Amino acid sequence: MRVIEMEARSALVKSGLGGVDYVVNPYTGCRFGCAYCYATFMSRYVSEPVEEWGEYVYVKRNVVELFERELARMRPERRTRSIFISSVTDPYQGAEAKYRLTRGVLEALAREQYPGSVAVLTKSPMLLRDIDLFRELPDFEAGLTVTSGEDEISRWLEVHAPPPRRRIEALRALNEAGIRTYAFVGPLVPHFVERSELLEDLFARLAEAGVRRVYVEHLNAKGYIRKRLDAVVAKQPELVRAAYAEARTREHRARLEQIVSELIERHGMELRLGAVIDHPESETRRRP
């Protein structure tokens, strides 16, 4: 694992994500190295091979300073805009314990009492360190990505990320601390279709931890993502391999959506964006 310090040129970046105005990514690269990660395209900005995603992290050591400056320059009418931390890295991966860049960005927002919505999304319970700042932000939400209630299932997809059970415990702790939370269930693991009891278990655990708002996303099967994922899935049992091959069909996705919709209703949750997030460009294959 390589950690490389660098100087960034900007911190607050306009976002192409639906419902998000700006993103802040204090790091380039991500130690968690998930097999399904869509952010691997960032490797070309730091001239690293895609295959080594998860093996390096570029630390933007001046990101807090840049962010403070950009925030100070933000016109008053823009201060209602939403800020998301982070879109192409995990803001609470291991390097954050030392560099505290995510914390620095949140401190700046708390100092300014930034009135727009601010959200973080991570796979790490390290975010609990910043509860003091979350409390100070007027419109704040903390999210954890949880792809499975069973550690063994996600282990081969998210090799270096903290186990899902710890993420669910972090959600519980945030809820108990009175912080507004959400869970990001994505990507939906394709073999949930064959083993829907696993998805039921995940939703039951989330509900039990006090989660009321969820985003749910289908697997993004774009070519560059599939290339990495296929190599991991190839080592899995036949059932899993077949489910991943099917995952690009509309029929498969419709079945997953049906299961999700029943679970959302059963647990009285809010499905954010009103639907499972999909990636139309990956839905190119129909079942023969």
Residues engaged in binding ligand SF4 (CB under 6 A): 30, 32-34, 37, 39, 89-90, 123, 161
Q: Which is nearer to ligand SF4, 133 or 229 (CB)?
A: 229
d(CA 88, CA 90): 7
Q: Which is nearer to ligand SF4, 3 or 242 (CB)?
A: 3
Q: Who contacts 165 (Cβ-Cβ below 8 Å, separation ≥6)?
A: 149, 151
- Quote the least distance from Cβ 231 to ligand SF4, whole Å: 15
Distance in Å, CB of 39 to ligand SF4, minimum: 5
Instruction: Closer to ligand SF4 by CB, 54 or 149: give it.
Output: 54
Q: Peptide bond before 49: cis, by omega within 30 degrees of 0?
A: no
Task: Write down the least CB distance from residue 37 to ligand SF4, Å.
Answer: 3
The minimum distance between CB 93 and ligand SF4, in angstroms, equals 7
Q: Is 144 helix (H, G, I), strand (E, B) or coil?
A: strand
Q: Kindly tell me which of 161 and 211 has the beta carbon lying closer to ligand SF4.
A: 161
d(CA 87, CA 122): 10
Closest listed residue to residue 18, CA positions, set 286, 229, 274, 285:
274
155/266 with CB nearer ligand SF4:
155
Instruction: Report the candidate in 64, 123, 61 with the shortest Cα–Cα distance to residue 89.
Output: 123
| Smallest distance, ligand SF4 to C-beta of residue 53, A | 7
Residue 225 CB, nearest distance to ligand SF4 (Å)?
A: 10
Structure-token pair, residue 39: 């952010």
Is residue 84 a contact partner of residue 41, using CB atoms and an 8 Å limit? no
Rg of the chain (C-alpha set): 19
Q: Which lies closer to ligand SF4 via its Cβ, residue 68 or residue 94?
A: 94
Classified as helix, coil or strand, 70 is helix
> Per the structure block, which two tokens stand in for 272?
């954010």
